[in-house]
């Protein structure tokens, strides 16, 4: 909130003192970000994303905005001034889909790159003007459909609905309403009683919804094309004494609406990730200024946020947080949990079975609503998971499986296929022959078993390549270093090493460096940690298998959210693998 206030003050000053005398007459190396509204946290988050990217890449970024999203003329005047100052690029969140096109054409004619965010400019009007302008933002139609499908399920396919749109002529509001109506009316008995605009404003939504409910009688749900209008709709049903009878949904995931979702008074909204719009906008502007191609469309993700997950307690038990892979998984799980209103507790087992069992049982006894487990061992952790399940607590496993226990879902890469990919690359680099050393992970973990099984089954197809030794190093760098130092005298002529994770492969490299010897020609790891990626770039190692721990952490929480909503959960969720090479 403090950041939003600071940005608002800065932008307000830029509106009042639009271009002071001391501003340089030529800003061709600078980028201007022109937003819709100074009052919206949505656009302050967009500005923050743009600022962070610009600062990271040394880009001069100036920000401007108007007070109301309907202030088209003021936005046109700002752009006209930017053209006179010869900015290198203008990033624009348009207040209108058609009326901004002539001034944007003028900017393009002046050699200034233009990028639009959040709201499409009208394609037919642009075609008539002979221009095309890149757009970055969400597919608002899909966002509307997500809310429509959610409400249709909540209403069991029957009900009477109000749809409240934004400002006339603005593409994003139109797309949200169209997507919503298409989804909620498909294969249902749901009736759209009325659809009217409230110009994105809380006060206007209050008036419009009050009038429509009074006119049409019983209403089961209200879809609003932004969160400000959802708050106005909530005020209306409160005044009419109907707040417990009508489902209200919004769009934008503002904190004020999240507060109402915690209380169950608003049931859904859409997160559009405006920080990514800002980031991608500056990136596109920079590329365009440098003469590099820019895609005409770049989508940012949309997430359906619903009240069912707010306040739910979830425990994530991780095998070892000192491992960079699991640290990344946990960080993204934590970030995603915050987005969906989940209270996430992260427990570090430090690769100790007994500690993880204690964490599981204590979390079960402390009334966690769901457990996410990254097992230290496939066999020994099973009883702990079975205990949680016996108490009615669902369990999701991630990255590693358990041998005996019923889980809600398992999320992981196809470790067997990853092992096969490593073997094929090993054979390619060895040109079909050589001696290989395999460093295995923790015995009893599904990851170690499956990676090894895949690697050896595939490598077995090459009769002139031999795995001369296999030894466990427990997924630990120092242990792998000790294993290799101990093995060097016995295996002085190795051609390749495959390690079940990057930490162990880097430990093997450490061993060769300490011994003053040249490592084998082919070195392949698994996980694509940041250090391993850098080692690939520098030619220190040959490659690593990327299995996206960030995606695993995110998917684990999203699967929990679907469970809380009562949706069907797949028993297995597979995350794609990629081979990283130099």
The residue with tokens 């049409």 is 216
Q: Which residues contact 227 (CB under 8 A, 6 or more apart)?
A: 250, 251, 252, 253, 254, 256, 257, 269
Q: Kindly state whether residues 390 and 443 are assigned to the same domain.
A: no
Predicted local confidence at residue 6, as pLDDT: 43
Closest by Cα among 170, 171, 164, 211 to 192: 164
Please say whether the beta carbons of 216 and 185 come within 8 A: no
Residue 328: strand, helix, or coil:
helix
**429 and 469, same domain (yes or no):** yes
Residue 249 makes CB contacts below 8 A (sequence gap 6+) with: 147, 150, 151, 221, 222, 223, 224, 230, 266, 267, 268, 269
Same domain assignment for residues 99 and 183: no
Tokens (6 digits) for 452: 């090894």
Check: CB of residue 11 under 8 Å from CB of residue 70: no
Q: What is the reported pLDDT for 420?
A: 97
Which letter does DSSP use for residue 519 in this model?
A: P
pLDDT in tens, the chain (582 residues): 334 444 443 443 344 334 444 344 578 999 999 998 767 888 999 999 999 999 999 999 999 988 887 889 999 999 999 999 999 999 999 999 999 999 999 999 999 999 999 999 999 999 999 999 999 999 999 999 999 999 999 999 999 999 999 999 888 999 999 999 999 999 999 999 999 999 999 999 999 999 999 999 999 999 999 999 999 999 999 999 998 899 999 999 999 999 999 999 999 999 999 999 999 999 999 999 999 999 999 999 999 999 999 999 999 999 999 998 999 999 999 999 999 999 999 999 999 999 999 999 999 988 899 999 999 998 899 999 999 999 999 999 999 888 876 899 999 999 999 999 999 999 999 998 999 999 999 998 989 999 999 999 999 999 999 999 999 999 999 999 999 999 999 999 999 999 999 999 999 999 999 999 999 999 999 999 999 999 999 999 999 999 899 999 999 999 999 999 999 999 999 999 999 998
- Residue 59 belongs to some domain of the structure: yes
Q: Are residues 341 and 262 in the same domain?
A: no
Q: Is 563 part of any domain?
A: no
Model pLDDT, residue 5: 40
H/E segment holding residue 92? strand 89-92
Q: How far is CA 536 from CA 110, 339, 523, 527, 533, in A?
A: 44, 34, 10, 12, 5
CATH number of 407's domain: 3.40.50.2300
User: How many of the other CB atoms lie within 10 Å of CB of 90?
Assistant: 24
- CA neighbor of 525 nearest in space, from 550, 507, 549: 507
User: Does residue 197 sit in the same domain as residue 111?
Assistant: no
Residues 6+ apart with CB under 8 A from 241: none
Cβ neighbours of residue 162 under 8 Å, at least 6 residues apart? 192, 193, 194, 195, 209, 212, 213, 216, 219, 221, 222, 223, 233
Euclidean distance between CA atoms 216 and 517, whole angstroms: 83
In three-state form (DSSP H/G/I as H, E/B as E, the rest C), the secondary structure along 175-218 is HHHHHHHHHHHCCCEEEEEEEEECCCCHHHHHHHHHHHHHHHCC
On whether both 260 and 279 belong to a single domain, the answer is no
Whether the CB-CB separation of 381 and 442 falls below 8 Å is answered with no
The answer to whether residue 560 sits within a structural domain is no
Q: State how many domains the chain has.
A: 4
Task: Please answer whether residues 404 and 386 qualify as being in contact, where contact means their C-beta atoms are separated by less than 8 angstroms.
Answer: yes
Instruction: Say if CB 342 and CB 371 are below 8 A apart.
Output: no
Q: 240 and 169 share a domain? A: yes
Q: How far apart are the first and last CA of the chain?
A: 44
Same domain, yes or no: 86 and 211? no
C-beta separation of 310 from 148 below 8 A:
no
Beta carbons within 8 Å of 2's beta carbon, 6+ residues apart: none
Confirm whether 582 is domain-assigned. Answer: no
561 inside domain: no
In a shared domain, residues 10 and 83: yes
**CB 285 within 8 Å of CB 267:** no
**Token pair of 11, please?**
């932008």
Contact 59, 279 (CB under 8 A): no
- Which residues does 337 contact at the CB level (< 8 Å), separation at least 6? 314, 343, 344, 557
Residue 566, in any domain of the structure: no
Distance CA 495, CA 557 (A): 42
- Mark whether 81 and 112 lie in a shared domain: yes
pLDDT at residue 148, rounded to an integer: 98
Domain that holds residue 77: 2-137+275-299
Domain-located, residue 305? no
pLDDT (tens digit per residue) in 545-572: 998 999 999 999 999 999 999 999 999 9
- Decide: 233 and 205 in contact? Cβ < 8 Å: yes
H or E element that contains 109: helix 101-109
In a domain? residue 165: yes
pLDDT digits (tens, 9 = 90+) for 318-362: 999 999 899 999 999 999 999 999 999 999 999 999 999 999 999
* Calpha distance 115→280 (Å, rounded): 10
Do 397 and 499 reside in the same domain of the chain? no
Query: In this predicted structure, what is the pLDDT of residue 25?
Result: 56
Statement to judge: residues 12 and 130 lie in one domain:
yes
């Amino acid at each position: 909130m403090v950041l939003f206030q600071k940005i608002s003050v800065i932008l307000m000053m830029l509106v009042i003192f639009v271009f002071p005398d001391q501003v340089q007459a030529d800003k061709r190396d600078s980028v201007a970000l022109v937003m819709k509204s100074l009052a919206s946290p949505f656009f302050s988050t967009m500005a923050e994303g743009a600022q962070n990217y610009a600062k990271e890449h040394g880009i001069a970024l100036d920000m401007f905005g108007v007070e109301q999203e309907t202030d088209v003329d003021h936005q046109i005047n700002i752009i006209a001034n930017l053209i006179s100052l010869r900015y290198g690029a203008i990033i624009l969140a348009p207040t209108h889909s058609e009326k901004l096109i002539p001034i944007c054409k003028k900017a393009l004619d002046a050699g200034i790159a233009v990028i639009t965010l959040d709201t499409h400019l009208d394609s037919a009007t642009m075609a008539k003007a002979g221009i095309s302008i890149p757009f970055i933002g969400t597919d608002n139609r899909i966002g509307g459909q997500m809310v429509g499908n959610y409400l249709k399920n909540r209403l069991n396919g029957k009900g009477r609905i109000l749809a409240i749109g934004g400002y006339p002529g603005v593409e994003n509001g139109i797309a949200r309403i169209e997507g919503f109506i298409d989804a909620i009316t498909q294969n249902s008995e749901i009736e759209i009683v009325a659809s009217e605009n409230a110009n994105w404003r809380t006060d206007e939504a209050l008036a419009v919804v009050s009038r429509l409910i009074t006119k049409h009688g019983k209403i089961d749900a209200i879809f609003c094309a932004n969160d400000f209008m959802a708050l106005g709709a909530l005020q209306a049903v409160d005044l009419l004494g109907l707040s417990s009878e009508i489902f209200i949904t919004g769009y934008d995931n503002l904190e004020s609406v999240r507060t109402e979702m915690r209380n169950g008074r608003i049931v859904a909204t859409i997160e559009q990730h405006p920080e990514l719009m800002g980031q991608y906008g500056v990136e596109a502007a920079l590329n365009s200024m440098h003469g590099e191609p820019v895609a005409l469309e770049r989508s940012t993700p949309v997430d359906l946020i619903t009240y069912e997950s707010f306040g739910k307690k979830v425990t994530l038990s991780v095998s070892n947080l000192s491992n960079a892979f699991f640290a990344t998984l946990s960080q993204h799980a934590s970030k995603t949990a915050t987005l969906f209103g989940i209270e996430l507790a992260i427990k570090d087992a430090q690769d100790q079975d007994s500690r993880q069992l204690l964490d599981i049982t204590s979390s079960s006894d402390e009334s966690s609503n769901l457990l996410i487990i990254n097992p230290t061992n496939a066999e020994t952790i099973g009883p702990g998971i079975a205990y949680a399940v016996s108490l009615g607590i669902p369990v999701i496993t991630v990255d590693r499986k358990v041998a005996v226990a019923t889980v809600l879902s398992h999320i992981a890469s196809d470790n067997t296929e990853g092992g096969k990919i490593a073997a094929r690359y090993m054979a390619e680099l060895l040109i079909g022959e050589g001696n290989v050393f395999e460093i295995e992970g923790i015995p009893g973990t599904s990851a170690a078993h499956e990676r090894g099984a895949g690697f050896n089954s595939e490598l077995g197809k090459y009769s002139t390549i031999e795995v001369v030794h296999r030894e466990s190093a427990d997924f630990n760098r120092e242990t792998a270093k000790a294993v290799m130092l101990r093995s060097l005298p016995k295996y002085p002529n190795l051609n390749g090493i495959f390690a079940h994770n990057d930490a162990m492969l880097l430990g093997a490299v450490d061993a060769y460096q300490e011994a003053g010897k040249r490592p084998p020609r082919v070195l392949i790891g698994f996980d694509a940690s940041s250090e391993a990626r850098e080692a690939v770039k520098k030619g220190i190692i040959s490659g690593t298998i990327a299995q996206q721990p960030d995606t695993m952490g995110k998917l684990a929480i999203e699967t929990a959210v679907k469970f809380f909503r009562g949706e069907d959960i797949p028993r297995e969720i597979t995350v794609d693998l990629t081979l990283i090479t130099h």
